[in-house]
């Protein structure tokens, strides 16, 4: 089995929960200015993989970056050449003591998964020892490759730009936290988790093609329909992947109002839309939130 970087695995956070909804986008962008008194922080919604055709980025992203001292990302991406770390990560997303997917999935769902993987020329036996979160992430990666979606994404773009401009990045989560989150996806109900994912993967390309213009335009309603609404079919994953993390990030963001630097926070756009988003939580605490 090939080693995969955490950056590639992070695709799942934005893309494994797909649905199709169509709506006219409005002329704004996915960057917000959060203010309290005379201080402010910029928060931008990112897409973790982005076709080259989507560059240059909306001007609002560039404006926010130029007017800040520090970028704040979800996590630091490990060196893809660090095979010791990759091996540790793969061990964490693998079952122990001979346990396999056949032990947590019904015969019908396992057969459907087998046929799905075979459709890409793959062998289910090479994935049978991995936990559901990793398997579903692999499904998203295969769909992205089939849709010929290329590019590193907004997070990577600004991470590389910050290195060039000698802006030291900060992070909201540890790499270890994100790996553990991936390993626990679908842990309590693998059957429902995999079955739902199989039903949604067929709309991957269609969803992504709708998500990109909604993201560029800052159409929060459309993005909530595309990202959050499908996740509501799996409340446990929604809580673990989105709402719990949103709440955990709020204290980190609030501390940014107590220093001399100006920050540009960049997180997956799904964290910034919906009823329990980062922006909604900040509004509830008295912060002023407006698109730039």
pLDDT of the residue at 41? 98
Cα-based angle 148, 153, 154 (whole degrees, multiple of 5): 150
Residue 93: partners with Cβ closer than 8 Å, 6 or more residues away: 130, 131, 133, 134, 179, 182, 183
The mean of the pLDDT values for the chain is 88
Q: Higher confidence at residue 17 or residue 54? A: 54
Q: Is residue 31 a contact partner of residue 64, using CB atoms and an 8 Å limit?
A: yes
The residue with tokens 């936290």 is: 177
Phi-psi domain of 274 (left: phi exceeds 0; alpha: psi -120 through 50; beta: other):
left
Asked whether residue 1 is assigned to any structural domain, the reply reads no
Residue 121 in domain: yes
Check residue 22 and give its pLDDT.
29
What value does the mean pLDDT take over residues 127-156?
88
Give me the mean pLDDT over the 247-270 stretch.
Answer: 95
Give the span between the Cα atoms of 143 and 233, in whole angstroms: 21
Of 12-16, 78-82, 211-215, 248-252, minimum mean pLDDT range: 12-16
When pLDDT is averaged across residues 173-186 and rounded to a whole number, the result is 92
**pTM recorded for the entire structure:** 0.86
Average pLDDT over residues 252-275: 95
148/23 Cα distance (integer angstroms): 24
**Please, how many CA atoms are within 13 Å of residue 255, restricted to the half-sphere of its CB?**
9
> Which residues form the domain of 115?
6-291
User: How many domains are contained in the chain?
Assistant: 1
* Whole-angstrom distance, CA of residue 73 vs CA of residue 155: 7
Residue 128 lies in a domain: yes
- Per-residue pLDDT at 150: 58
The confidence band for 151, taking pLDDT boundaries of 50, 70 and 90, is: low
- Mean pLDDT across the stretch 50-58? 88
Mean pLDDT of 134-155: 85
Q: Does residue 93 lie in a domain region?
A: yes
Dump pLDDT digits (tens) for 83-127. Answer: 888 888 899 999 998 999 999 999 999 999 999 999 999 999 999
The backbone torsions φ and ψ at residue 4, rounded to the nearest 5 degrees and listed phi first, read -120, 140
Whole-angstrom CA distances from 73 to 69, 206, 211 are 13, 27, 21
- Rounded Cα distance between 255 and 118, Å, is 49
Enumerate residues 6+ apart whose C-beta is below 8 A from 220.
Answer: 272, 273
**Quick one: average pLDDT of 202-209?**
88
State the Rg of the chain over Cα. Answer: 19
pLDDT at 2 over 60: no
> Per-residue pLDDT averaged across 239-266, rounded?
95
**Closest C-alpha to 4, from 114, 156, 142:** 142
Angle at 6 (CA atoms; ends 244, 87), nearest 5 degrees: 120
pLDDT at residue 141, rounded to an integer: 85
Q: Give the other-Cβ count within 10 Å of 204's Cβ.
A: 20
pLDDT at residue 26, as a whole number: 37
The span from the CA of 267 to the CA of 43, in Å, is 8
Select the highest-mean-pLDDT range: 6-20, 39-53, 147-161: 39-53
Distances (CA, A) of 238 to 65, 78, 224, 235: 30, 25, 12, 5
Residue 201 CB-half CA count within 13 A: 25
pLDDT at residue number 18: 31
Query: Residue 70: enclosing H or E segment and its boundaries?
Result: strand 70-73
Q: Which residue has the higher pLDDT, 27 or 204?
A: 204
What are the structure tokens assigned to 50, written together? 């982005």
Is 211 a member of any domain? yes
Q: Residue 170 has what pLDDT?
A: 96
Percent of the chain with pLDDT over 70: 89
Question: Is residue 82 scored above 90 in pLDDT?
Answer: no
Judged against a pLDDT cut of 50, whether residue 20 lies above it is answered with no
Domain annotation covers residue 250: yes
Checking if the pLDDT of 167 tops 90, the result is yes
């Amino acid at each position: 089995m090939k080693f995969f970087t955490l950056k590639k695995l992070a695709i799942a956070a934005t893309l494994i929960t797909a649905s199709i909804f169509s709506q006219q986008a409005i002329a704004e962008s996915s960057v917000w200015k959060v203010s309290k008194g005379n201080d402010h922080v910029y928060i931008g919604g990112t897409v973790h993989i982005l076709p080259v055709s989507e560059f240059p980025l909306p001007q609002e992203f560039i404006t926010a970056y130029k007017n800040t001292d520090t970028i704040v990302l979800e996590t630091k991406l490990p060196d893809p050449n660090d095979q010791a770390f990759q091996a540790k990560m793969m061990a964490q997303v693998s079952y122990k003591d001979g346990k396999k997917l056949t032990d947590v999935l019904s015969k019908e769902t396992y057969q459907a998964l087998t046929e799905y993987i075979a459709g890409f020329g793959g062998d289910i036996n090479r994935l049978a020892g991995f936990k559901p979160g990793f398997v579903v992430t692999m499904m998203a990666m295969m769909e992205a490759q089939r849709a010929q979606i290329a590019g590193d994404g907004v997070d990577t773009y600004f991470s590389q730009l910050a290195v060039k401009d000698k802006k030291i990045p900060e992070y909201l989560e540890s790499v270890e936290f994100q790996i553990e989150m991936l390993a626990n996806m679908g842990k309590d109900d693998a059957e429902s988790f995999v079955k739902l994912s199989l039903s949604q993967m067929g709309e991957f390309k269609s969803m992504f093609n709708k998500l990109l213009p909604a993201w560029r335009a800052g159409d929060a309603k459309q993005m909530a329909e595309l990202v959050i609404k499908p996740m509501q079919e799996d409340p446990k994953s929604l809580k673990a992947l989105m709402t719990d993390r949103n709440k955990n990030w709020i204290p980190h963001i609030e501390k940014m109002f107590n220093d001399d630097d100006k920050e540009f926070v960049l997180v997956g756009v799904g964290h910034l839309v919906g009823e329990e988003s980062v922006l909604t939580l900040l509004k509830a605490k008295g912060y002023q939130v407006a698109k730039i």
